[in-house]
């Protein structure tokens, strides 16, 4: 039988991932002054041990005011390079492609860490040392009632911010990541430019669709100019706002065509988040609910796409790929539930194909597989054909 599509390698420019599974960026809100620490190393490292083809850091701020919370990672000064470089090296040594997402929170900055409420900072947060800072946006429109009023970015501000993106990209190169993703989704700064609900500017960076796309496209150009030509560039989008008057799929198709022309290699197709939590939108949620966005964008733009959103089961992921709906499968919170999801998925698909036998755990880290391989015959005697991983 042909190999499952989920476990076929994919080459993007000169970077090859061993399979089509990507661990999505998932903020941990646990950094101090933007610095990665041992939590981030272990958090991301176990996904490489778990068999993912690409492992991506959480949103990493290009400047201090671009953080969502005080606990966000950053790359706004050179001192932040070394701990991220250590993480990238560990991911690569354990078989995964190290990837980093660069971001600016825009008007969704200066927020509470989610376990304190995921809302505007309160006096209780200030007492913990999480004090507010000045936030910025395309237009002086707060995210919601009770939230900070953002400073409307001037053209000199935009120029300075482009330089922040450029320098952060150079630091990502120095940290030795192989994939870089630009965050244009979930209500953060670049998404705020794209959506007519948050961009009311009267200059060249607002108005019609072309004007609203102008600044995010300039950031893509800025990053691509200094990101090595042999390494792929991902762009994460909110395919639709899911709010009346917001971005629809035709807007995203137009943006993706322009992003491709500027050197974007993969479009990471999420949705929502303009207001409220990062993935908030009035979109019905079922298994794989965002896959149709990745499928339509892939079909209409010929872009390489990545699907994300309640893709929980190995056979579900395999079917999505086998039906040519997308090229990559992103797994987020399900990987928190099961950091070995890729390895378990490989076992589940192998079982279906009748390929279970000697070498069942060959893909596992040798420190684990050696033991599991020797345990397996005894389990077979106890359980007969019902192997534990069949429940994945």
189-223 confidence digits (pLDDT tens): 999 999 999 999 999 999 999 999 999 999 999 99
**Quick check: 274 and 193 in contact, CB under 8 A?**
no
Q: What is the pLDDT of residue 277?
A: 66
**Quick check: 77 and 174 in contact, CB under 8 A?**
no
CATH code that applies to domain 5-340 = 3.20.20.70
**Contacts of 302 by beta carbon, 8 Å cutoff, 6+ apart:** none
Instruction: Determine the average pLDDT of the residues in 240-264.
Output: 97
CA angle, corner 286, sides to 8 and 190, nearest 5?
75
Q: What is the pLDDT of residue 379?
A: 80
Count of CB atoms within 10 A of residue 9's CB?
11
Residue 392 pLDDT > 50, yes or no? no
Instruction: Report the catalytic residues.
Output: 188
DSSP-assigned letter for residue 25: P
Which band of pLDDT confidence, cut at 50, 70 and 90, is reported for residue 19?
very high
Q: CA–CA separation, 320 vs 349, rounded Å? A: 14
**Quick check: 202 and 155 in contact, CB under 8 A?**
no
Name the 3-class secondary structure at 91: helix
Instruction: Determine the average pLDDT of the residues in 140-165.
Output: 96
Rounded to the nearest integer, the mean pLDDT of the chain is 94
Domain regions of the chain by residue span: 5-340, 356-391
For the full predicted model, state whether its pTM sits above 0.75.
yes
**Contacts of 154 by beta carbon, 8 Å cutoff, 6+ apart:** none
């Amino acid at each position: 039988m042909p190999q499952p599509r989920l476990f076929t390698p994919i080459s993007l420019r000169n970077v090859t991932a061993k399979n089509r599974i990507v661990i999505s960026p998932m903020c941990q809100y646990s950094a101090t002054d933007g610095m990665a620490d041992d939590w981030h190393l272990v958090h991301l490292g176990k996904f490489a041990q778990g068999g993912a083809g690409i492992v991506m850091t959480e949103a990493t701020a290009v400047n201090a005011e671009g953080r969502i919370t005080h606990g966000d990672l950053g790359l706004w000064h050179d001192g932040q390079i070394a701990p991220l470089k250590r993480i990238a090296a560990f991911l690569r040594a354990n078989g995964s492609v190290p990837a980093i997402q660069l971001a600016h929170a825009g008007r969704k900055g200066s927020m509470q860490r989610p376990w304190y409420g995921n809302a505007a900072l309160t006096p209780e947060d200030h007492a913990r040392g999480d004090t507010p800072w000045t936030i910025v946006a395309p237009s002086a429109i707060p995210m919601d009632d009770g939230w900070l009023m953002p400073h409307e970015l001037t053209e000199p501000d935009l120029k300075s911010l482009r330089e922040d993106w450029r320098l952060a990209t150079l630091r990502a190169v120095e940290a030795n990541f192989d994939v870089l993703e630009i965050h244009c989704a979930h209500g953060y700064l670049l998404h705020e430019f794209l959506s007519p609900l948050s961009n009311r500017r009267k200059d060249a960076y607002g108005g019609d669709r072309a004007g609203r796309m102008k600044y995010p496209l300039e950031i893509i150009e800025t990053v691509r100019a200094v990101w090595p030509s042999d390494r792929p560039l991902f762009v994460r989008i909110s395919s639709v706002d899911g709010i009346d008057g917001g971005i629809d799929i035709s807007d995203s198709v137009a943006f993706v065509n322009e992003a491709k022309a500027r050197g974007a290699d993969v479009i990471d197709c999420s949705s929502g988040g303009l207001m409220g939590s990062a993935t908030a939108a009035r979109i019905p949620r079922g298994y794989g609910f965002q896959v149709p966005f990745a499928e339509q964008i892939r079909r209409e733009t010929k872009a390489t796409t990545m699907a994300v959103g309640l893709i929980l089961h190995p056979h579900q992921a395999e079917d999505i790929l086998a039906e040519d709906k997308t090229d990559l499968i992103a797994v987020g919170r399900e990987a928190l539930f099961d950091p070995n999801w890729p390895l378990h998925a490989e076992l589940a698909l192998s079982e279906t194909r009748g390929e279970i036998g000697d070498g069942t755990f060959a893909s596992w880290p040798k420190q684990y597989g050696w033991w599991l391989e020797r345990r397996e015959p005894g389990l077979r005697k106890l359980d007969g054909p019902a192997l534990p991983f069949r429940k994945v």
